[in-house]
Each structure stands twice: as C-alpha cells, then as structure tokens.
C-alpha cells in the first residue's frame, strides 16, 4: 500500500511528517532520509497496534484454511459469465 506523508519544517529546522491514511503515524527527522525511515517505523507501529486491538476485540475469530475458491466474473467484451477455480495451499 502507498502512504501519503505531509511534511513540514519546524522552528528548529527538523522535518516533521504525518501520514494521511494513518493520522496516528507521526515522526520527525533531521533530513528527508531520516524522516522517511522514521515514518516507516511509525506506520509499522500503528499497524501493529491496530492489529493487536482488532485481535483483542474479536477473540472468538478462528482461522480457516481455504482449499478451493470459485470466482465468478463477467467479461466486458462478450458479456458471458465465466468461472475460475483457485486452489490455495
């Protein structure tokens, strides 16, 4: 996924950034490279926190293995329906 980072320069000359898609992800750096590395860490921390909260909220969710999945889609040119079967290991 691509993230949009809004960057400002603060009064000390450091760069501060905030992620548009994850507003909780905020960081700073002395230069653009430092800021981007720190923003990656901030985004990963926010996503990890959200995942933990999701798991905590839905403790009864169980994982299932899907062996076969049938997908139906309509083609735009011939307007005929076709089916595809996917096998997941």
Domain boundaries defined on the chain: 5-57
| CA pair distance 14, 18, nearest whole angstrom | 14
The pTM for the full model equals: 0.63
Whole-angstrom distance between the N-terminal and C-terminal Cα of the chain? Answer: 25
Asked: is 5-57 a CATH 3.30.1490 domain? The reply is: no
At 52-83, the pLDDT tens digits run 888 888 776 566 666 665 555 444 444 344 34
Residues counted in the chain: 89
At 7-60, the pLDDT tens digits run 999 999 999 999 999 999 999 999 999 999 999 999 999 999 999 888 888 776
pLDDT at position 82 is 39
pLDDT at position 86 is 41
């Amino acid at each position: 996924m691509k993230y949009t980072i809004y960057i400002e320069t603060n009064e000390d000359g450091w760069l501060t950034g905030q992620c548009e898609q994850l507003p909780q992800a905020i960081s700073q750096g002395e230069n653009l490279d430092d800021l981007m590395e720190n923003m990656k860490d901030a985004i990963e921390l926010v996503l990890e926190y959200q995942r933990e909260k999701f798991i905590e909220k839905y403790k009864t969710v169980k994982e299932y293995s899907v062996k076969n999945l049938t997908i139906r889609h309509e083609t735009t040119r011939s307007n005929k329906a076709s089916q595809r079967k996917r096998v997941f290991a």
